[in-house]
Structure 1
């Protein structure tokens, strides 16, 4: 039993160790809001590599690579 627990703990630790520390996930866009997520290649936000915009009517527009370092903004729909 203890071996199973230790093996599971080791696998979990290894899985988390492979996730890049700087990568971020965008928060969920709440109903009644327009959300814009800008994706950058580095933590200094010097190279924009993609954008995702979630509009008030539910339409989503994206371009580029949607991973990396993010700047996320939201505004209420009128």
Structure 2
């Protein structure tokens, strides 16, 4: 019984450790908005390592890495 509990706990820990930091993901971009998510390598947000831009047309452009350190913005489409 204890072995099963430990095995499950180990498995859950491994799964959570391998999930990307996107668990702290940016808000969902609403229709009618241009949204920009910048991903940084550190909490001070000094080193930009990736970007995701969701355009008014619905097109999405991405480059770089996804991390848990984000800066998110949204602008209404005009």
Asked if Structure 1 and Structure 2 have the same fold, meaning a TM-score greater than 0.5 normalized by the shorter chain, the answer is yes
Q: How big is the alpha-carbon RMSD for the aligned residues of Structure 1 and Structure 2?
A: 2.4
Partner of 2:39: 39
The unaligned stretches of length 5 or more in structure 2 are none
Q: How many residues align?
A: 73
2:30 aligned partner: 30
TM-score of the two chains, using structure 1 as the length reference: 0.70
In the TM superposition, what is the alpha-carbon distance from 1:10 to its structure 2 partner? 8.5
Runs of 4 or more consecutive aligned structure 1 residues displaced over 2 Å after TM superposition: 6-16
The residue aligned with 2:57 is 57
Which secondary structure state, in structure 2, belongs to the residue aligned with residue 45 of structure 1? coil
TM-score, normalising length: structure 2: 0.70
The answer to whether the 8 A contact 1:49-1:66 is kept is yes
- Structure 1 CA distance for aligned equivalents of residues 15 and 49 of structure 2: 26
Once residues 48 and 10 of structure 2 are traced to their aligned partners in structure 1, the CA distance between those partners, rounded to angstroms, is 36
Equivalent pair of 1:39/1:66 in contact (CA under 8 Å): yes
Instruction: Measure how far apart 1:66 and its partner are.
Output: 3.6
Deviations 1:30-57 (A, max 9, x none): 0000000000000000100010100000
Query: Is 1:52–1:66's contact at 8 Å kept on the other side of the alignment?
Result: no
